[in-house]
Chains A and B, each alone.
Chain A
Amino acid sequence: MDTAVRLAGITKEFPGVTANDDIDLAVEEGTVHALLGENGAGKTTLVNVLYGLYEPTAGSVYVRGEERDFDSPRDAIDAGVGMIHQHFMLVDPMTVTENIVLGNEPRKWGGLVVDRERARSEVVELSERYGFDVDPDTAIEKTSVGVRQRVEILKALYRGAEVLILDEPTAVLTPQEVEDLFEVLAELKAQGKTIIFITHKLGEAMEAADEITVLRDGRKVGTVDAASADRESLAQMMVGREVLIEMETPAVQVGDPVLQVRDLSVVDDRDVEAVSGISLTVREGEVFGIAGVDGNGQAELVEAITGLRVPEAGSIRFEGTDITEWNRLDRIHEGMAYIPEDRQSRGLVMDFDLVENGLLGSQHSRPFVDGGRIDWEVASEHADRIVETYDVRPGNTAAAAASLSGGNQQKFIVGREFERDPRLMVATHPTRGVDIGSTEYIHDRILEMREEGTGVLLISSKLDEVQGLADRLAVIYEGELMAVVEPGDVTEEDLGLLMAGEYPADFDAVTDHSLPNGEEPL
């Protein structure tokens, strides 16, 4: 078997940071190779070097045995290397076919006119060859995320890619779509393509790859055969120490209700009812989990609770006080912390530095502000503390939030919200896009908070996360709570069915859903 891609001694330095330090990598033709590592380990930098986006400080790139010096992605594409970015680069109103051929359109009449029929037939032929299920005539904006990803792959294949690089391909997909993607990768491999994909999820690397290369702090830790690798040793390679995969949740005495939601109905941006009469209670010292497939009303429910969306009906009580009419700032001041779902549009101001971002939400409160005047020294110390405690890298608080990697942005937000010392923590997908070491840390902090008597409302699409952390677990489906269960007493299959809106055959709904906690109405 030949080596499709070989990187020899790749070093890439940015001012003050060595992102890649003397990395060797060899990928055999016709195999799937996973690059595994935590946020900031240098995975993306490495593939960007391979794809011609970065020029390495030292080292060489070989594609099919030939040394290459890519000045731009254009050169990489010409050499048969294609990349599928995490953010799709598609034109939404244009069709699948138009997107795939864009820039390389087949032409007729002496190159004056795009040959649409030929473009379409080529796309159809290509997608059939690889068993892709995409309609060539649908507009991109009407397709799901999974389909868009396949269109991106087709786009690379259409340009003659033999080596496909996928940057965190599963980050945006639902569990079912991840399965479909892995089938696609297997089919591509069967047809002789070489695949390199980046992930920070152990399970995915083990499931989909033939070989796994682990990076840590810009260095290569080692390459292992996926079939013979085990989770614990991979996790140790990634983090550099032993990782507890199981979580321990010590028993905590629950106290008074912190959050009481009654018959809450909320409409979404299109005025369609997204939350229909949900009631729930979160008590002191308890983690209340909500599981569900994204888009079943979680976002609207959380926005109503945190004061970002006005509910149509129902009431919200916080430590016994009706806060339905309160504005967002009052809720923050009274002790409601919130880790938002979308960190880049909500959780952080991308152009602000970390000192300013650390102030977000506290810009009217002591000790940061006195008589309307901001004390930047206090704010700066606060940001330093977050950066240090939550291991945000790089730790320069004068850097703009936009310059941080996604995982580090998330760690900063988590740190800021934890530092509020809240009475209620609303956490939506707190570990999304965060590496295993930090995930462990965030989980520990949530449990610590629970022990201190804080109520936690945890929304996550990761089943193991909600099952592992929650004391009580609700499943949301189409804006209603299907059931509230004891996380230990329910199987993953049952949860899967509930998330799909079906009750398992021998399932006793634990409680009535209008009053899921068996309490008296307020």
Chain B
Amino acid sequence: MKLPERLADRWARLVTASAFERLLISGAALVLSILVGGVLILVAGVIAECPNPALSMLGVSVCYDPIAVFDKLFLGALGDPINPAFKPFQGQFAWIIRPGFDPLNGQLATTLSETTILLFAGVAVAIAFRAGIFNIGAQGQLVVGALATAIVLLQVAPHITGAIGTIVLLIAGLFVGAAAGGLFAAIPGALLAYADANEVITTIMLNFVATAVALYLASNQFKDPESFANQTVPLPDHALFPNIVFQPRDDFSLIALVLAGLFLVAIWYLLNHTSLGFDIRTSGLQPQAAEYGGVDSKRTVMAGMVLSGALAGIGGAVYVLMVLGNFQTGVPGYGFDGITVSILAGNNPLGVGFAGLLFGVLKSGSIVVDVGTDVPPQLVGVLRGLIILFVAMPEFFRLIGTYVLPEETGRGPAATDGGEVIDDE
């Protein structure tokens, strides 16, 4: 096939097959979750008491304005790009973008910074899932990766300087994070492959081990003597991700985000276009068939787990080199969020991109809602949860689709094979 034909073919498949359906379903889920969330905000707003109600409807004063809340949750995360004078429904057509809006604002930086780490954590969990392994230990692997990166770079950084030094140090830092995370994940991997120990148990337990070891090292050997907190000495600036485009105080580097995107594509390519990826997917879907097809299950479990741990470890390294600038205990639960991101994405590395961005927006937008409205943070948590809940249940929307849509398109029965249902004996 020639390239244009192939592209057309790909596109046709993409549209007809699940991708379009997925988008439709995600959109429907988002809309429904906002509607349900809006009702919740109204109800909470009626019950709550406040000095200055946001709305007053039919003599009932409502403390919170649902539109304002969702506006801040989503648009706030982007730094409020919409012009307040832009009111098309009232007939006021101003330029849609707010004058003075800086696309490189701090809030957007926060969003993208969160997204970057979530992409690494999400794809780490996703590749393990594809291999049929539930890696709950991404958090531990991320912590170990972060700690190892900080410790090693603290020793090495003073000896290597200059622009080239920064590149060398960053690459070295990511390698150290990958190696540490990968090695740490090799423990539950080996236990699963060679001793048949359930990875759910071992990875959960190793999360505690990772946190405890990090606490011990960050409060003893590697503690910053000047600080009361359990953290290491700050890394020199030349060992950190340069804040190109965005402001240095924003703790975000576009380089890291691009790197994360490259990793997603690389992992997608690995899964879909290489022998190892074929082995991983086969064992994840049907271990018996994998065995039949000559897949070495032990090797595949190890490969899947080590890759997963390495990606989480890189996530940790990026967290240190982009956000913290040193290692501190109390790393937020990116590894656990990674599980949700991965499941939202259907464990598809490219889908992790979208799911990670949605999660990043929600995390950063929550802060804006907290600061900008009277809505209590707990209620914001509920709204976030609702959105994730609805997006995570595509089957529910597919079910609705079969009732709402006309039969021909809504019901796609599996029996396109001449009518025989599958028979095995």
User: Which residues of A are interface residues toward B (Cβ below 8 A)?
Assistant: 12, 14-17, 19-20, 39-46, 48, 86-87, 167-168, 171-172, 217-218, 308, 327-329, 331-332, 338, 340, 342-352, 356, 359-361, 363-364, 369, 372-374, 376-377, 393-394, 396, 398-399, 402-409, 432-433
Report yes or no: B422 in contact with A363, Cβ–Cβ below 8 A. no
12 contacts between A and B (CB under 8 A): A15-B408, A44-B421, A46-B419, A218-B419, A345-B286, A360-B282, A360-B292, A361-B292, A364-B275, A372-B276, A377-B1, A407-B420
Question: Is there a chain A Cβ closer than 8 Å to B423's Cβ?
Answer: yes
Report yes or no: B296 in contact with A45, Cβ–Cβ below 8 A. no
Report yes or no: B275 in contact with A308, Cβ–Cβ below 8 A. no
Partner of A405, one of B286, B420, B425: B420
Report yes or no: B285 in contact with A351, Cβ–Cβ below 8 A. yes
Q: How many residues of B contact A (CB 8 A)?
A: 37
Residue of A nearest to B416 (CB): A14
Contacts A42-B419, A403-B414, A405-B423; A340 near B292 (Cβ below 8 A)? yes
Question: Is there a chain A Cβ closer than 8 Å to B4's Cβ?
Answer: no
For the complex, what is the distance from the CA of A87 to the CA of B424, rounded to whole Å? Answer: 8
Report yes or no: A14 in contact with B413, Cβ–Cβ below 8 A. yes
User: What per-residue 1/0 map shows which CB atoms of B247-288 lie under 8 Å from chain A?
Assistant: 000000000000000000000000001111111011001101
Report yes or no: A394 in contact with B418, Cβ–Cβ below 8 A. yes
Provide the residues of chain A in CB contact with B98, threshold 8 Å.
none
Question: Is there a chain A Cβ closer than 8 Å to B162's Cβ?
Answer: no
For the complex, what is the distance from the CA of A406 to the CA of B421, rounded to whole Å? Answer: 8
For the complex, what is the distance from the CA of A488 to the CA of B277, rounded to whole Å? Answer: 50
For the complex, what is the distance from the CA of A39 to the CA of B424, rounded to whole Å? Answer: 12
For the complex, what is the distance from the CA of A347 to the CA of B13, rounded to whole Å? Answer: 26
Partner of B424, one of A332, A398, A433: A433
Which residues of chain B in 29-78 are interfacial with respect to chain A, using CB atoms and an 8 Å cutoff? none
Provide the residues of chain B in CB contact with A399, threshold 8 Å.
416-417
Provide the residues of chain A in CB contact with B288, threshold 8 Å.
342, 345-346
> Which of B13, B414, B416 lies at the interface centre, i.e. has the most chain A CB atoms within 10 A of its CB?
B416
Report yes or no: A342 in contact with B412, Cβ–Cβ below 8 A. no
Residue of A nearest to B1 (CB): A377
Report yes or no: A344 in contact with B416, Cβ–Cβ below 8 A. no
Residue of A nearest to B277 (CB): A374
> Which of B292, B293, B295, B414 lies at the interface centre, i.e. has the most chain A CB atoms within 10 A of its CB?
B292
Residue of B nearest to A45 (CB): B419
Report yes or no: A409 in contact with B422, Cβ–Cβ below 8 A. yes
Partner of A406, one of B289, B290, B291, B422: B422
Question: Is there a chain A Cβ closer than 8 Å to B415's Cβ?
Answer: yes
Which residues of chain B in 281-328 are interfacial with respect to chain A, using CB atoms and an 8 Å cutoff? 281-282, 285-286, 288-296
Provide the residues of chain B in CB contact with A407, threshold 8 Å.
420, 423
Provide the residues of chain A in CB contact with B422, threshold 8 Å.
344, 402, 404-406, 409
Residue of B nearest to A342 (CB): B424
Residue of B nearest to A380 (CB): B1
Partner of B292, one of A17, A338, A398: A338
Distance (Å) between the CB of B105 and the closest chain A CB?
A: 42
Residue of A nearest to B6 (CB): A377
Report yes or no: A374 in contact with B292, Cβ–Cβ below 8 A. no
Contacts A352-B285, A403-B414; A332 near B423 (Cβ below 8 A)? no
Report yes or no: B278 in contact with A372, Cβ–Cβ below 8 A. no
Residue of A nearest to B409 (CB): A15
For the complex, what is the distance from the CA of A373 to the CA of B276, rounded to whole Å? Answer: 9
Partner of B419, one of A44, A168, A356: A44
For the complex, what is the distance from the CA of A408 to the CA of B420, rounded to whole Å? Answer: 10
Report yes or no: A344 in contact with B282, Cβ–Cβ below 8 A. no
> Which of B275, B295, B408 lies at the interface centre, i.e. has the most chain A CB atoms within 10 A of its CB?
B275
Report yes or no: B13 in contact with A393, Cβ–Cβ below 8 A. no
Report yes or no: A372 in contact with B274, Cβ–Cβ below 8 A. yes
Distance (Å) between the CB of B89 and the closest chain A CB?
A: 42
Report yes or no: A363 in contact with B418, Cβ–Cβ below 8 A. no
Partner of B273, one of A43, A167, A168, A374: A374
Distance (Å) between the CB of B9 and the closest chain A CB?
A: 10
Residue of B nearest to A43 (CB): B420
> Which of B408, B416, B425 lies at the interface centre, i.e. has the most chain A CB atoms within 10 A of its CB?
B425
Contacts A327-B294, A338-B292, A349-B289; A42 near B415 (Cβ below 8 A)? no
Residue of A nearest to B286 (CB): A349
Provide the residues of chain B in CB contact with A346, threshold 8 Å.
288-289, 291-292
Distance (Å) between the CB of B307 and the closest chain A CB?
A: 14
Distance (Å) between the CB of B287 and the closest chain A CB?
A: 9
Partner of A172, one of B13, B416, B425: B425
Residue of B nearest to A306 (CB): B292
For the complex, what is the distance from the CA of A361 to the CA of B285, rounded to whole Å? Answer: 15
Provide the residues of chain B in CB contact with A374, threshold 8 Å.
273-275, 277-278
- Not counting A350-B286, A402-B414, a sample of 19 additional A-B residue pairs whose C-beta atoms are within 8 angstroms of each other reads A19-B415, A43-B420, A44-B421, A45-B415, A86-B423, A168-B423, A171-B423, A308-B291, A338-B292, A347-B292, A349-B282, A351-B286, A360-B292, A363-B295, A373-B273, A374-B275, A374-B278, A404-B422, A433-B423
